[in-house]
Amino acid sequence: MGGLTYFDFLAKFGVGGAHPGGIHLTQNILSQENISEKSVILDAGCGTGQTAAYLYQQYRANVFGIEINPIMVEKAKSRFQTLQLPISLIQGSIEEVPFADNTFDFILSESVLAFVNKPKALQEFYRVLKKGGRLLANEMTMNRLVSDQEAAEIMNFYAVDSLLLEKDWENYLKSAGFQNIKIEEQNFPLSHGNQTPEFNFSTDFDPELFHILNEHGNIVIKYQDTLSYRIITATK
């Protein structure tokens, strides 16, 4: 892949709502929580900022974003500026969250935890959440184990060091100290994609990124019975 990754594709295509179910599933998950203009919320790995923008527009909440990819940061900033949204965005890693203990009422991780050091990031999420604060995540999850060769193909594409089953997520969350852990499967399969994709293309992009897009489609179809996602919620 010439050194380019799936994340280079997401960043250069400026994919908004780059998680299964897109913004509609996000809205549905948020509507089940007690969010108000008093809520302090971190969109962890916020990408181009679609969800962060919605959190302000819908709830007038105090919204913060953290994102590691500079192209994503630039596109999220431009979204917030254009829409004149008072959202604070920091370039950084969710493995070392640059906020004080007990800061947030909610942390959202929409397809981000799966791609990082999970114990490290979960420990950080737990630290910066207030007591009673909620973690809301939408993360890649295997329906069952696959062969070593199949696992290698998926891990190589997404550049991850592990593929988690539901019980693995549960164990990680428990080890980090979370309570009231719920892990829910959705009816909507990964292979249906995001029904309302949003793009903010960079003008300079390597045509190789189209191969990555194709490869992603192939992986999703090939593993449609095993490679899935779960909505994970938990309380500090």
Ligand X SMILES: C[S@@+](CC[C@H](N)C(=O)[O-])C[C@H]1O[C@@H](n2cnc3c(N)ncnc32)[C@H](O)[C@@H]1O
Residues near ligand X (CB under 6 A): 7, 10, 16-19, 45-47, 50, 66-69, 72, 93-95, 110-112, 115-116
Please, what is the minimum distance in Å from the beta carbon of residue 7 to ligand X?
5
Q: Which is nearer to ligand X, 162 or 179 (CB)?
A: 162
Helices (H), 3-69: 6-13, 22-31, 50-59
Tokens encoding 76 = 């999220």
What's the Cα-to-Cα distance from 22 to each of 1, 29, 76, 197, rounded to whole Å?
26, 11, 16, 7
Please, what is the minimum distance in Å from the beta carbon of residue 203 to ligand X?
19
Please, what is the minimum distance in Å from the beta carbon of residue 195 to ligand X?
14
**Which residues, other chains included, contact 145 with Cβ-Cβ below 8 Å and sequence gap of 6+?**
151, 165
Q: Which is nearer to ligand X, 158 or 178 (CB)?
A: 158
Q: Which is nearer to ligand X, 16 or 133 (CB)?
A: 16
Please, what is the minimum distance in Å from the beta carbon of residue 117 to ligand X?
8
* Distance from C-alpha of 59 to C-alpha of 54, rounded to nearest angstrom: 8
Q: Which is nearer to ligand X, 19 or 236 (CB)?
A: 19
- Distance in angstroms between the alpha carbons of the first and the last residue of the chain: 40
Please, what is the minimum distance in Å from the beta carbon of residue 95 to ligand X?
5
Q: Which is nearer to ligand X, 82 or 149 (CB)?
A: 82
What does the buried/exposed string (b/e) look like for 176-211 if buried means 16 or more CB atoms within 10 Å of the residue's CB?
bebeebebeeeebebeeebeeebebeeeebeeebee
